[in-house]
Amino acid sequence: MNKYLVLLLVMVFSLSCKKERTKTVIEKETVAEVQKVKPSALIKAFKYQPNAKPIISVHRGGKGIKSYPENCLETLVYINDSIKAIYEIDVTKTKDDVLVLLHDNTLNRTTTGEGKIAEYTYNDLKAFNLVDDFGTITKFKIPLFKDVLIWAKDNNVILTIDIKKDVNLAAIVDLVREVKAQDVSIIITYDLKQAEAAYAVAPELLLSVSGRNNKELDWLLHSKIPTQNMLAFTGTRLSDSTFYNKVHAKGIKTILGTLGNLDKQAKAKGDKLYKTWIAIGVDILATDRPFEAANAIK
């Protein structure tokens, strides 16, 4: 064999081995970094336990409450003074990349302003007031996400954070870490791709993941996400008890979105339905009727 060819093969082999060693080192360092991160206290606290107390999750931080708008810090305080609950909030950003609470892309429905929030700086937003679900203008302002995080941390109130599509996940996680609010923060994801991306960015946080059926549950169980980091959102329709039992067998709590049709059923047929759904295997009720649901499951 030509000596130059032999030399070339030796060089290629050496580079290949070096590349493989480098890859292995990087993978080990990545695993080590994940292991060094202190996990949120919620990972242990939200592990499924039989006979644990059911939990109320307040949709959009409180809807349909006279004089108290959704996604409003004062509304969170008002509800928290009356019942024990966790709060789902919606985080978006302004033109100057300030993170605030607002569900819609526009200001029209829930504030005295008009147009897309992306067209306004945070200082611009200070001119507007929040409006409740009955059209009443309140004295309350669009809150900073940072202020809500600080309040939640100071009062040990758990937030489930719905990140709007224009918001960078890393920006949310950075602020959670800056405020040291990991122990009160849950990141909401809607599909496996989002969930895996969230775990890659924030392996210390608990994630609300979409597990509405056996297919989605199987995807999750074969993903890179440890089950201990999962809180399974099972959709807005009831599943049968066998499915809830299957999720529980993996140590995962379940969330049922009663917001919408199921809340309407409970209002029409009696709030005792909330207790019935808990008995079937639901651990967390995500509802637009937090006071009624909380009273029913006492």
Q: Is residue 19 part of a domain?
A: no
Coil, helix or strand at residue 272: helix
What per-residue confidence (pLDDT) applies to 15?
53
Number of domains making up the chain: 1
Q: What is the mean pLDDT of the chain?
A: 92
Q: Is residue 3 part of a domain?
A: no
Q: What is the pTM of this model?
A: 0.88
What six digits make up the tokens of 216?
């989605």
Look-up of token digits 């809340």: 263
What per-residue confidence (pLDDT) applies to 132?
98
Q: Is residue 164 part of a domain?
A: yes
What per-residue confidence (pLDDT) applies to 37?
84
User: Average pLDDT of 284-297?
Assistant: 98
What per-residue confidence (pLDDT) applies to 10?
47
What per-residue confidence (pLDDT) applies to 196?
98
Distance CA 126, CA 108 (A): 15
Task: Mean pLDDT check: name the lowest of 6-20, 43-57, 241-255, 261-275.
Answer: 6-20
Identify the domain containing residue 103 by its residue range. 37-296
Q: Is residue 7 part of a domain?
A: no
Q: Are 205 and 186 in contact (CB under 8 A)?
A: yes
Domain of residue 139, CATH code: 3.20.20.190
Q: Is residue 21 part of a domain?
A: no
Distance CA 99, CA 233 (A): 25
- Name the nearest CA neighbour of 298 among 72, 9, 71, 84: 84
Q: Is residue 170 part of a domain?
A: yes
User: Average pLDDT of 130-154?
Assistant: 98
- Go through the chain and tell me how many residues it has: 298
Helix (H), strand (E) at residue 169: helix 169-179
Does residue 13 have a pLDDT over 70?
A: no
Q: Is residue 18 part of a domain?
A: no
User: Average pLDDT of 4-32?
Assistant: 49
Does residue 7 have a pLDDT over 80?
A: no
Does residue 225 have a pLDDT over 50?
A: yes
Q: Is residue 243 part of a domain?
A: yes
**Residue 158 CA: distances (Å) to CA of 51, 182, 281:** 21, 10, 22
